[in-house]
């Protein structure tokens, strides 16, 4: 692991243990106004995993309660709800400035053989046949609200290649699905809990944005308010976050200023390794003339 941006993310997920079930994580400013939701997902899962031995997470269900402050650390309190013969349950509350900003329930299971099937991976071009996104030209970047420009130009720890790229400055209306290849930009250790926390972090990218596709709107234009409301994730098979994964997303519904999106994550061999679902706020704003 040689790239500082990856080392910084891995360090972000290595929480400080304050007490037996109490952990503290730092926040990273990636150009968003508030703490990136994926950061809280990854840190909360990292905290829960620190209280379980010999069992791997298979599902997590989370709610975002308040916007996180990027200038302050986050405390994660883990409740060891139950340790059964095969499964363990954990509840995590993320606290900042004395208030809960996020809650998550996660379930862990001992390794076990059983029946198996999966939906096939979509037939899409491999990542090496797709181009990396081109940087926005200065005149196009100027059309984006200043507080979002750093988010757009920031080079993060994950690289993304879109099967169907979209112009976010002049977004067309199109069906509510997209396919995005992604991977960590540098190799990390073989630690499986780390890779699960990294995938939880990355799963918050592009998911709720799928619900905007039929409406020709973009969070970059300043006329829509978007925020994650909840996030669910299921882990099916082993994977590596530093190898190419396909995020296949669709949005079955939008209503009441909320959009629902679902995602399936495949590895290069076509194995379904994880699934996600998220509902997010999509509120149109009046833009001053």
Strand ranges for the chain from DSSP E: 16-19, 22-25, 56-64, 74-83, 87-96, 99-109, 158-162, 177-184, 224-228, 230-235, 245-255, 258-267, 272-284
Check if 99 is active-site. Answer: no
Q: From 2.40.160.210, 3.40.50.1970, 3.20.20.10, 2.70.98.60, which CATH number describes the 4-110+124-284 domain?
A: 2.40.160.210
Q: Is the dihedral of CA 182, 283, 68, 61 positive or negative?
A: negative
Check if 69 is active-site. Answer: no
The pLDDT value recorded for residue 289 is 45
Question: What ranges in the chain are assigned the alpha helix state H?
Answer: 4-12, 37-49, 138-141, 146-153, 192-202
Q: Is the pLDDT of residue 154 over 80?
A: no
CB atoms within 10 A of CB 18: 12
Out of 228, 248, 264, 275, which one is annotated catalytic? Answer: 228
Can you read off the two tokens belonging to residue 254? 């939008």
The pLDDT mean for the chain works out to 93
Out of 96, 107, 261, 278, which one is annotated catalytic? Answer: 278
Q: Is the pLDDT of residue 30 over 80?
A: no
Q: Is the pLDDT of residue 287 over 70?
A: no
Residues 97 and 41: their CA atoms lie apart, in Å, by 18
Which CA distances in Å does 209 have to 34, 122, 217, 218, 227? Answer: 17, 19, 9, 8, 10
pLDDT in tens, 82-103: 999 999 999 999 999 999 999 9
- pTM score: 0.93
pLDDT in tens, 33-61: 789 999 999 999 999 999 999 999 999 99
Please, which pLDDT band fits residue 29 given cuts at 50, 70 and 90? confident
The pLDDT value recorded for residue 202 is 98
Please, which pLDDT band fits residue 189 given cuts at 50, 70 and 90? very high
Q: Is the pLDDT of residue 166 over 90?
A: no
pLDDT in tens, 232-267: 999 999 999 999 999 999 999 999 999 999 999 999
Q: Average of pLDDT values for 207-213? A: 96
Domain boundaries, the chain: 4-110+124-284
Check if 253 is active-site. Answer: no
Q: What phi-psi label fits residue 74: left (phi over 0), alpha (psi between -120 and 50 degrees) or beta?
A: beta
Out of 204, 251, 261, 275, which one is annotated catalytic? Answer: 204
Q: Average of pLDDT values for 172-183? A: 97
The pLDDT value recorded for residue 149 is 65
pLDDT in tens, 106-150: 999 999 999 999 999 999 999 999 988 777 777 777 767 666 666
**Is 81 or 167 the better-scoring residue by pLDDT?**
81
């Amino acid at each position: 692991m040689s790239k500082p941006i990856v080392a910084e993310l891995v360090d972000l997920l290595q929480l400080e243990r304050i007490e037996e079930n109490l952990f503290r994580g730092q926040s990273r400013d990636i150009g968003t106004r508030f703490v990136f939701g994926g950061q809280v997902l990854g840190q909360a899962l990292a905290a829960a995993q620190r209280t379980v031995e010999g069992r791997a997470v298979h599902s997590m269900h989370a709610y975002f309660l308040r916007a996180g402050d990027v200038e302050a650390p986050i405390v994660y309190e883990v409740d060891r709800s139950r340790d059964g013969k095969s499964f363990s349950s954990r509840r995590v509350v993320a606290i900042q400035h004395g208030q809960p900003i996020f809650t998550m329930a996660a379930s862990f299971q001992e390794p076990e053989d059983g029946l198996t099937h999966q939906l096939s991976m979509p037939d899409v071009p491999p990542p090496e046949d797709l181009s990396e996104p081109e940087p926005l030209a200065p005149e196009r970047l100027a059309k984006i609200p200043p507080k979002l420009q750093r988010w757009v130009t920031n080079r993060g720890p994950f690289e993304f290649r879109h099967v169907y790229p979209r112009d976010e400055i002049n977004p067309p209306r199109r069906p509510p699905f997209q396919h995005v290849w992604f991977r960590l930009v540098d190799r990390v250790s073989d630690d499986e809990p780390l890779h699960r926390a990294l995938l939880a972090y990355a799963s918050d990218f592009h998911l709720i944005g799928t619900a905007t596709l039929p409406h020709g709107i973009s969070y970059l234009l300043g006329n829509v308010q978007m925020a994650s409301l909840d996030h669910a994730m299921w882990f099916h098979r082993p994977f590596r976050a530093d190898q190419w994964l396909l995020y296949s997303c669709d949005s079955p519904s939008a209503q009441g200023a909320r959009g629902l999106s679902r995602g399936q994550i495949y590895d290069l061999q076509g194995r379904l390794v994880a699934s996600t679902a998220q509902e997010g706020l999509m509120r149109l704003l009046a833009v001053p003339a």
